[in-house]
Structure 1
Amino acid sequence: MRSLLDQPPEDSRARFRDRIPRFILTVDTEEEFDWEKPLTRETHGTDHVRRLSKFQEFCEHQKVVPVYLVDWPIANSRLAAEILREPLAAGRAEIGVQLHPWVNPPFAEDVTQHNSFAGNLPRDLEEAKFVKLRDCIEAKFGVTPLIYRAGRYGVGENTARILAEHGIAIDTSARPQFDYSSVGGPNFRTFPIAPYWLDDERTLLELPLTTTFWGMLRKQGEYIYPRLWRAPSMRGVLSRLNMLERVPLTPEGVTVEEAIRGIDMALDEGAPMLVFSFHSPSLRPGDTPYVRTEEDLDDLYDWWRRVFAYLKQRGVKPSCVKDVMHSVER
């Protein structure tokens, strides 16, 4: 079992039997907290959970199966279970594990920036937190989760083996073109956006979140972009000049026009799977920096409508965990 921190070898790339490009919609389904303040165990809420009902109805109308990656406060929300149990049972939604260690028992560590990345914890503690959350999700939602994302993308040397030993089939924690090492997290800057196997037996699949570079300098983006950290304003200048732009596939801070350019770049590079994501608190104005007003929320839904329409136009098929596991070559 390779570490999730290791650059995957070329021969580990995964393919789908039908060669049809796919996309998957993942929702970081988590508590509300102040993104500008230090993390705590206590100062958070779940008031936005009622908004999941409308989002689920929206996805069903669009014929998209959302994958809710649920953390401890949401797993223990009675309302979340009431909203999602029936769609999960019917296959119109899927559920996975998202570990926020600072709010997930057992609480044996201090709440620090370093410890907010679960992969930095001792193996026994990372595993105990994961197992407690997975078992809670299965009990409350009536479904066994098969997909995992580390909160803050915080995987470590032990994460892959923990997941494999406890029945997880897919990890989706890698975020190519992003480097969190300056704050104690992993560095995924040079990782591929294509899916890859984490073991030779092909039992644990990585579905990286999709981020691409766009612009005249996109082929050099992997080299240029990280070197602009001392002059972040230059990133904006290069973007405005259509020279270089980093485009993660999310409605949070990314316009629909930018997302469409990112989709085109990923497909043109032969990516077999596009992984979209956003945070569930963005479904209620004021809970994230990305959605402050009801108008912003309308824009978020419109973003998804236009992106889904464009994906259909480009022949990209909606996917989900069940489809991935059925269709991937082993």
Structure 2
Amino acid sequence: MQAITEPPSPGSLAQFDAQFGRRFILTVDTEEEFDWSKPLDRVGHTLDHVTRLAKFQDFCEALDIVPIYLVDWPIVNSKLAAEILRPAIAAGKAEIGVQLHPWVNPPFDEDVTPANSFAGNLPRALEAAKLGNLRDKIEATFGVAPLIYRAGRYGTGPNTADILGVNGIAVDTSVRANFDYSAGSGPDYSGHPLAPYWIDSDHTLLELPLTTIFWGMLRKQGRSLFPLCQRVPHLPGVLSRLGMLERISLTPEGVSIEEAIRAIDIAVDDGLPLLVFSFHSPSLKPGYTPYVRNDRDLDTLYDWFREAFAYCARRGVLPTTVGGIMRAVKR
């Protein structure tokens, strides 16, 4: 099976039934709280925001959106998180998936280093053991076998695809298209497509890349120009203000609703069949991510989602689920 870190081969883009139309999913990196400005550690994290998952689930249900909670080891071992999420999952109003943070996920046979925070950099047996432990714990806790995976820090590696297959995972959503993490020992996704594609020739593992759009007069040259621009301090910000080039991810974390709407327009106009929204669950409580520092920021996050999803509806982009995608994709 081809490595997830490698751009797909020609002809691997997924095709969907005609009635699928254009859709979006909402993925939640459901994880522990930790200080993003400090080195990673196996201990010292908290789960104070977990109570806020109930409000967020109610919010999604009111909009007829089925969130996909990609849970990691601290979350799946939280009784409160299980009590909140299990009824929604059982009712089909939420879906559950896997998110591997290797530094807090047993077995603990590696040093905690920046390179080892990308699970794909670990020895195959260790990556497999960590992922298998988490997958099994998720199924035991929620009563559902998870079908979708995201590597923490988007850190896939040469063995990840095979390991996912062994664990019955049918969908990966670790590829953050138009981003390159190689400077920090992570993967380079700058050459990967935005549209869903098959990782393997047998069509058993489907990739759903996170949606990141280049906007501006130079957007067609974004993949070649943006990496160069990042090497010059402040140049990306200057180009954005001038309307020349901007990289926009579909997340309320650090992206304004005006920017998101521009990205949605481009995605629709370019014929992208699936949009992947994402954010980190600790943003549901002020003080745990750089993006939500106070109650006003939290109100802005919820307003962002309301406006983004309302705009999707106006552009004919409807919500879907992992189950809906798997039923609609052509093998």
| Shorter-chain TM-score tier | over 0.9
Match of 1:107 in 2: 108
Match of 1:225 in 2: 226
The number of residue pairs the alignment matches comes to 330
Match of 2:13 in 1: 13
Q: Distance in 2 between matches of 1:97 and 1:16?
A: 24
Q: Distance in 2 between matches of 1:287 and 1:211?
A: 24
Q: Displacement, 1:292? A: 0.3
Partner of 1:110, secondary structure, is coil
Letter in 1 for 2:218: L
Match of 1:89 in 2: 90
Partner of 2:108, secondary structure, is coil
Partner of 1:232, secondary structure, is coil
Q: Deviations over 1:186-223 (max 9, x none)?
A: 00011100000011111110000000100001011111
Q: Distance in 2 between matches of 1:144 and 1:166?
A: 10
Match of 2:76 in 1: 75
Q: Distance in 1 between matches of 2:231 and 2:306?
A: 37
Match of 2:192 in 1: 191
Match of 2:323 in 1: 322
Partner of 1:10, secondary structure, is coil
Letter in 2 for 1:253: G
Q: Distance in 2 between matches of 1:135 and 1:176?
A: 29
Q: Distance in 1 between matches of 2:252 and 2:305?
A: 8
Match of 1:310 in 2: 311
Match of 1:151 in 2: 152
Q: Displacement, 1:27? A: 0.1
Q: Deviations over 1:127-167 (max 9, x none)?
A: 00000001111111111100000000000000000001110
Identity over aligned pairs, percent: 65
Q: Displacement, 1:238? A: 0.3
Letter in 2 for 1:25: L
8 A Cα contact 2:135 2:167, kept in partner: no
Q: Displacement, 1:43? A: 1.2
Q: Distance in 2 between matches of 1:266 and 1:92?
A: 26
Q: Distance in 2 between matches of 1:143 and 1:85?
A: 10
Q: Distance in 2 between matches of 1:320 and 1:225?
A: 32
Structure 1, unaligned runs of 5 or more:
none
Partner of 2:11, secondary structure, is helix
Q: Distance in 2 between matches of 1:82 and 1:112?
A: 33
Q: TM-score, normalised by structure 2?
A: 0.99
Letter in 1 for 2:67: P
- RMSD over aligned Cα, in angstroms? 0.7
Q: Deviations over 1:46-103 (max 9, x none)?
A: 1100000000000000000000000000000000000001000010000000000000
Letter in 1 for 2:220: K
Q: Deviations over 1:161-185 (max 9, x none)?
A: 0001110010000001100000000
Q: Distance in 2 between matches of 1:232 and 1:251?
A: 24
Counterparts in 2 of 1:171-186, with a 5 A limit?
171-186=172-187
Partner of 2:227, secondary structure, is helix
Partner of 1:179, secondary structure, is coil
Q: Displacement, 1:232? A: 3.3
Q: Distance in 1 between matches of 2:26 and 2:59?
A: 13
Q: Does 1:2 align with 2:2?
A: yes
Runs of 4+ more than 2 Å apart: none
Q: Displacement, 1:322? A: 0.6
Match of 1:248 in 2: 249
Q: Displacement, 1:268? A: 1.3
Structure 2, unaligned runs of 5 or more:
none
Partner of 1:12, secondary structure, is coil
Q: Displacement, 1:229? A: 2.3
Match of 1:169 in 2: 170
Q: Displacement, 1:10? A: 2.5
Q: Distance in 2 between matches of 1:158 and 1:305?
A: 38
Match of 2:211 in 1: 210
Letter in 2 for 1:210: T
Partner of 2:99, secondary structure, is strand
Partner of 2:279, secondary structure, is strand
